[in-house]
Structure 1
Amino acid sequence: MSRNLGRIILVVVIAAFVGAYFAFDLQQYLSLAELKQQRDALAEFAGARPVLSIGGFFLVYVLVAALSLPGAAILTIAGGAVFGLGTGTLIVSFASSIGATLAFFVARFLLQDTVRKKFKERLKRIDEGIEKDGGFYLFSLRLVPVFPFFVINLVAGLTALKPWTFYWVSQLGMLPGTLVFVNAGTQLGHISSPGDILSPSLLGAFVLLALLPFIGRGVLAWVKESRVRRKFNRPKSFDYNLIVIGGGSAGLVTSYIGAAINAKVALIERDKMGGECLNTGCVPSKALLKSAGLLVAARDSKKLGINKMEAEFDFAAVMQRVHDVIAEIAPHDSVERYTKLGVDCIAGEAKVVSPWEVEVGDRRLTARSIVVATGSRPVVPPIDGFDKINFVTSDTLWDVRKQPRKMVVLGGGPIGCELTQAFQRLGTEVTLVEMAPQLLGREDGDAASAVLESLRDHDGVNVALSTKAIRAEGEGAGGTLVCEQNGKEVRFDFDLLLLALGRKANSNTAGIADIGVEIAKNGTVATDPFLRTNYPSISVCGDVAGPYQFTHVAAHQAWFAAVNSLIRPLWSFRADYSVIPWSTFTSPEVARVGLNETQAREQGVAVEVTRYGIDDLDRAITESEAHGFVKVLTAPGSDKILGATIVGAHAGELIAEFVLAMKHGLGLNKILGTIHIYPTMMEANKYVAGEWKRANKPEKLLGYVGRYFAWRRGRASNNEVVGR
């Protein structure tokens, strides 16, 4: 029997029971007045036929609870009135729990697939909370009889809560309320309505009971921290409120926030302040792309009506400019600046020796809280021959001063694509090798194809997709990368091999794993939603924490890490990853926030896709940048933005409007109603909102409006007589 047929049969059966309940007016028998009138007769029957009466009562109770019919409260009172406190409590406790679990299964069988398909992304966070604290939440709700139990049953069935957990928590959680109502049944003569049972003081007691699980969780956290204290000697006083390890984006922002609110903060950095972004990542790569872009402008000058524009350059000078740019920005992240802000900047290798102590050289520093922001390092795969050649990574590339004639870039992610394009435009013959069938694996196919077309057709890069590196041959600077492509062996010679295969978290750089801090399966440090490790006094942020490796996300996490560390245990803020944008700075740029089409298909999220081609945009045409698109995903029938992808010039700037809109719940109608300066690239955002509006215009209403205007002109419309 198919699942759909089973659902239909179940709905019919439930409808028949519910229909019979109301058709035969069975609810009249589940009233307090009827119970009082029939109590003696029911008690006499129960005494004469105990097995039959208990079994029948049990079955009726299970059916009422399973079908979410009104009357469970009266039945609970009846349990005490007919069977007494002990037997009544026993019967009602099991019958109510079994009936509730059946209602749970009914909701799950009939509705869960539909609900989860429609709200899959939103339910992810709920499921995470249910998996961790579902029992606590359910227990608290069960302890307060004010909450309708049938609603709890149905809603719980739509979550990822395990049935056995639901059953036993319900059994325990409903027991206090069951006792109160069953006991009331033994005093039936003193009750005029079920409401008499729940006095304000009794409800207050239930609320206090409901808080017990959370109080208990707090006690468990205290016990857990106490165990840590027993394992390590907690200092009686502290040198600092906060010690931050790592002077990259995450560490700098954490230190800045701590110092800004007058906490005493120490920042420890073993190498260069500014971290990967300033010294080997974002800043140098964008500086190199700028120089390479000027060469392309000269090469393509005919597009702007300039017959010939010559450009001469020296590769060493270009690389020196990169370092000059780094040096110019460096004061923003310097020891001098942060010292003036009130941060104690300490140079050296940090080692965490306890949840409150850090060693630096021969010094031992103490703090109430420690934030680890040790960043990441390039991934180097265990491929044969790599130990014999002098490959470079995005960290070591910047020491190159002699331009390579041939270069192989292994990895077609953002780093690989950006540096491939830069070196190709500088005159190096570059081969880009990617194991997957498309570049930029996190992006939609149309966005990746736009970058591929630009690299391959416009810049002349040899792009090898679906190509897996097997080994490297050679020794020293040059060599050959041997790969497998379509089952055949292919070879790519190089003077320089660049590995651009992503980055790996420096999860134990400061020795935190050695003292027992948990490391996640993906190599990052395991944290709770507040960025705390299994040691409450140690938090992490930035690349070492995941789940995103972006400078702006590191800075975003730093706020949560700093504030949660400094105000612990009074309050904590959950790190928010609901709206995370990013951009790949190739030409064309690819910028993204929220869902894309690929993710929507994989997650089963229904979306409406609206697209506007930038080739139609006036400003893009004037600048000979008339290529790319803006693509927005919305909820069907709604202007709510679920995600946006922009491909084209300045996409990294254009995406900001959609980030703001998503963060603050603004839809495409708001963007359409916002004045955008003409002529700017930003108008593309307004035009895509206009495309959405045209696709969702109220056709029927506009038909009536058209007839109205026709009537105003004194003419018939659609063959109708004027005035009809």
Structure 2
Amino acid sequence: MPDFDVVVIGAGAAGLSVASISAGLGLKVALVERGRMGGDCLNYGCVPSKALLAAAHAAAAAREAGRFGIRLPAPEIDWAGVRAHVQGSIARIAPNDSAARFRGMGVEVIEAAAHFVAPDAIEVAGRTLTFRRAVIAAGSSAIVPDLPGLDGVPWLTNETLFDLEEPPGHLIILGGGPIGLEMAQAHARLGCLVTVIEAGPRIAAKEDPELVEGLRAALVRDGVEFREGAKVARVEQLEPDSLAAQAGVVAVLEDGSRIAGTHLLLAVGRAPRLAGLDLVAGGIEAGPRGIVTGPDLRSVSNRRVWAVGDIADPKGLGPRAFTHLAGQHAGILVRSMFFRLPFTRLSYAALPRVTYGDPELAQVGLTEAEARAAGHEGLSILRWPVAENDRAVTEGRPEGLVKLVVGKRGRLLGAGVLAPHAGEMAGVFGLMIDRRLPLSALAGLVLPYPTLAETAKRAAGDYYAPKLLSPFTKRLVDLLKHLP
């Protein structure tokens, strides 16, 4: 008889969700974690980054208070206090992800590294554990590029950035994706010089260019310098001199230009944590993007094994590095692994993503370019500027745009939003896309006034305006006006 019904490798967001559900169903569960409970999200990702951004936004609000008639002195950044806020945020959330909490659920938590020794067994802390089912949720880590000179200079990733005891004098960020942009704005607003180097033609390459322009402009106002379409040829050590008290790093671009800074942050992407798992011994197929699974998240080569979270590479969909994906994966896994429901398939059609800048950039479903590339015909592109929203006007935040991509018969295919707290609107769009609700459901939604969400409703209303104000409708109203 196997030692455990379910063995979960990785105690990040996905692994914790699976372990909790498994234990709640009365199964014998082992949860193995070689690092910190809570994984990347709690300790190095979502929680500390959003806590740092909150401090940065507070500093920006103090600087901008004059536009409301409030006169404040320039904010003084207490880096130790900022760090205390970041670490305090982690500490307040940590009990929810703690080993003690999961042991209280009946889960055996083993804080050590694990690797497969057979298709139905792992070795951990000198023990061999057999299982009926295993779930690999080992997550992902920052990619360290093969860059000449990198081995001779100090560099940071999201796992070490929040350990800095002093603020960077000039932070050079390689990569203009969500992590790079969020940390660029956070550090710029906290008084650091920041340069973002993006090898591709533009930052936020996956997002709608029309919305990205507004985000770029906001970061430039905060002092962030961008070098787009710029490839780094090598990096060099910068020694301290009379002008620079700190040692640092120089990024030498392919065009020969040199950018000197005190710190270098690598934010060029993420890769699955496959090393050390010995997947070959487990008979588990994997590639550079992660563990290959079917749409039910089950391994294509070992029917006892499932993969969830960043490390999963579902055929036809590919991996996605989002914490909120953990809950969706857990739901798919429960139906697939425990209840053996047929036709259990993963879909990313309504998966939201957000770059948590100020303003935020949120996207659900297809962008305009993706919809056209997919061959959707009869597209309608609806826009409503945030400047036309009364709440935005009262708060002095008129920048931004809601952009809806609508297919035939008024079906919402995608929505992009650039606005303060845009991520808060994403759920409504996701629900509409997932449940295939007509756009009329949004256009007719009664929302409290004044709220930013009204911009979405106004954009949806524009879809029906031509019909409402058509010559036929006007003739009909003209006839009906004579009725008593």
Alignment TM-score, normalising by the size of structure 1: 0.63
2:358 aligns with one of 587, 610, 632: 587
Conservation of the 8 A alpha-carbon contact between 1:267 and 1:344: yes
**Counterpart residue number, 1:635:** 407
Change (3 A) 1:579 1:325: same
Alignment of 1:468-479 (within 5 A): 468-474=231-237, 478-479=248-249
User: 260, 277, 286: which is aligned to 2:41?
Assistant: 277
SS in 2 for 1:504: strand
Q: State the 1:572 CA deviation.
A: 6.5
CA contact (8 A) 2:214 2:399 kept: no
- Structure 1 distance, partners of 2:465, 2:22, is 50
Distance (whole Å) between structure 1 residues aligned to residue 209 and residue 333 of structure 2: 36
The SS at the match of 1:387 is: helix
Tell me the distance in 2 between the aligned counterparts of 1:573 and 1:565: 10
1:205-244 map, 5 Å: 237-244=1-8
Deviation at 1:683, TM superposition (A): 1.4
SS at match of 2:293: coil
- Alignment: residue pair count: 470
Provide the rounded CA distance (Å) in 2 between the counterparts of 1:517 and 1:584: 34
**Contact 1:589–1:651 (CA<8 Å) still a contact in 2?**
yes
Contact 1:433 1:464 in 2 (8 A): yes
Query: Which piece of structure 1 moves more, 690-699 or 274-283?
Result: 690-699
Tell me, in whole angstroms, the C-alpha distance in 1 between the residues paired with 2:339 and 2:119: 17
On the 8 A contact 2:467/2:473 being kept in 1, the answer is no
CA offset at residue 342 of structure 1?
2.0
Deviation at 1:397, TM superposition (A): 0.6
Deviations 1:55-93 (A, max 9, x none): xxxxxxxxxxxxxxxxxxxxxxxxxxxxxxxxxxxxxxx
The CA deviation at 1:240 is: 1.2
Counterpart CA distance in 2 for 1:412 and 1:455 is: 12
Instruction: Note closer, same or farther for the CA distance 1:499–1:643 as it changes in structure 2 (3 Å cut).
Output: same
Partner Cα distance (1:459, 1:496) in 2? 19
Tell me if the contact between 1:351 and 1:360 (Cα under 8 Å) persists in the aligned partners: yes
Instruction: Specify the alignment match of 2:222 in structure 1.
Output: 459
Q: Equivalents in 2 of 1:293, 1:481: separation in Å?
A: 29
1:493-514 superposed Cα distances (whole Å, 9 cap, x missing partner): 0100001111001134422134
The Cα shift of 1:561 comes to 2.5
Q: CA deviation at 1:681?
A: 1.4
Residue equivalent to 1:326: 90
Are the aligned partners of 1:355 and 1:370 in contact in 2 as well (CA < 8 Å)?
no
Give unmatched runs, 5+ long, in structure 2.
Answer: 240-246, 314-318
Question: Given the alignment of the two structures, is residue 419 of structure 1 paired with residue 192 of structure 2, yes or no?
Answer: no
User: What one-letter code is carried by the residue in structure 2 that aligns with 1:527?
Assistant: T
Query: What does residue range 602-621 of structure 1 map to in structure 2 within 5 Å?
Result: 602-606=373-377, 607-621=379-393
Partner of 1:551, secondary structure, is: coil
In 2: Cα distance, 1:503 partner to 1:708 partner = 64
Distance in 1, matches of 2:371 and 2:336, equals 33
Partner residue of 2:27 out of 263, 278, 292: 263
Separation (CA, whole Å) in 1 of partners of 2:304 and 2:393: 56
Question: SS of the residue aligned with 1:467?
Answer: coil
For the structure 1 residues 475 and 567, does the alpha-carbon distance in structure 2 shift closer, same or farther, using more than 3 Å as the test?
Answer: farther
Are the equivalent residues in 1 in contact too, given 2:118–2:281 (CA < 8 A)? no
Q: Say yes or no: does 1:493 pair with 2:265.
A: no
Structure 1 position 252 matched with structure 2 position 16: yes
Tell me, in whole angstroms, the C-alpha distance in 1 between the residues paired with 2:4 and 2:400.
52
Task: Please list the CA deviations of residues 636-679 of structure 1 after superposition, one character each: whole Å capped at 9, or x if unmatched.
Answer: 4x221011001010100012111111111212211122210011
Residues 357-392 of structure 1 deviation map (CA, whole Å, 9 limit, x = unaligned): 111121111110000000001011111110011100
Equivalent position SS for 2:6? strand
Deviation of 1:604 (Å) = 2.6
Measure the CA separation in 2 of the matches of 1:641 and 1:387.
48
Aligned to 1:689: 460
Q: How does 1:88-107 map to 2 (within 5 A)?
A: none
Specify the alignment match of 1:551 in structure 2: 323
Equivalence for 2:242: none
Q: Distance in 1 between matches of 2:119 and 2:339?
A: 17
Q: CA RMSD in A?
A: 1.7
The whole-number CA distance in structure 2 between the counterparts of 1:691 and 1:535 is: 51
The reply to whether residue 391 of structure 1 matches residue 155 of structure 2 is yes
**Structure 1 residues 500, 632: CA separation in 2 closer, same or farther (over 3 Å shift)?**
same
Spell out the pairing of 1:39-188 with structure 2 (5 A cutoff): none
The aligned residue for residue 183 of structure 1 is none
CA contact (8 A) 1:542 1:553 kept: yes
Give the superposition deviation at 1:410.
0.6
Match of 2:204 in 1: 440
8 A contact 1:292–1:426 mirrored in 2: yes
Shift of residue 562, structure 1, vs aligned partner:
4.1
1:406 and 1:495 in contact (8 A); partners too: yes
1:483 aligns with 2:233: no
Name the CA distance, whole Å, in 1 between partners of 2:281 and 2:275: 8
**CA drift at 1:446:** 0.9
Q: Quick check: 619-628 or 572-581, which moved more? A: 572-581
The alignment status of 1:510 with 2:282, answered yes or no, reads no
Whether contact under 8 Å (2:12, 2:39) holds in the other structure is yes
2:451 is the counterpart of 1:680? yes
Q: Which residue of the partner structure matches residue 671 of structure 1? A: 442
Which string of whole-angstrom CA distances, capped at 9 and with x for unpartnered residues, describes residues 464-517 of structure 1? 111111100116851210113xxx321110100001111001134422134431
Aligned equivalents of 1:253, 1:342: Cα separation in 2: 14
| Residues 371, 562 of structure 1: 8 Å contact kept | no
Does residue 303 of structure 2 align to residue 536 of structure 1? Answer: yes
Higher relative contact order (CA 8 A, sep 6+): 2
**Structure 1 residue 302: Cα displacement:** 1.5
Question: Could you tell me how far 1:712 is from its partner in structure 2?
Answer: 5.7
Please name the residue that 1:95 is paired with: none
CA distance in 2, matches of 1:497, 1:677: 45
User: Residue 266 of structure 1: SS of its match in structure 2?
Assistant: strand
Deviation, structure 1 residue 405: 1.1
Residue 524 of structure 1 is matched in structure 2 by: 290
Q: Name which of structure 1's ranges 602-611 and 639-648 shifts more when overlaid on structure 2.
A: 602-611
Pair 620,513 (structure 1): closer, same or farther in 2 beyond 3 Å: farther
2:185–2:357 Cα contact (<8 Å) kept? yes
Task: Say which structure is richer in strand.
Answer: 2
- In the superposition, the TM-score normalised over structure 2's length comes to 0.93
Q: What is the Cα deviation at residue 424 of structure 1?
A: 0.6
For residue 327 of structure 1, what is the amino acid of its counterpart? A
Q: Paired residue for 2:194, among 411, 415, 430?
A: 430
Give 2:121's match in structure 1, choosing from 357, 365, 382.
357
| CA–CA separation in structure 1 for the residues paired with 2:432 and 2:207 | 21
1:515-569 deviations in whole A, cap 9, x for unaligned?
431113x43111112111110001101100142110011221122234423345x
Distance 1:282 1:538 in 2: 28
Distance 1:389 1:562 in 2: 46
**Displacement of 1:289 after TM fit?**
0.3
Instruction: Tell me the amino acid that sits aligned with residue 627 of structure 1.
Output: E
Q: Cα–Cα, structure 1 residues 712 and 567, in superposed 2: closer, same or farther, change >3 Å? A: closer
1:418-450 deviation line (CA, Å, top 9, x unaligned): 000000111111111111121101101111111
Segments of 5+ residues of structure 1 without an aligned counterpart are 1-236, 714-724
Paired position in structure 2 for 1:148: none
Bigger Rg, structure 1 or 2 = 1
- In 1, Cα distance between the equivalents of 2:41 and 2:276? 18
Deviation at 1:308, TM superposition (A): 3.0
Q: Is the 8 A contact 1:537 1:565 kept in 2?
A: no
Report the alpha carbon displacement of residue 403 of structure 1 after superposing the two structures with TM: 1.1
Look up the match of 1:450.
214
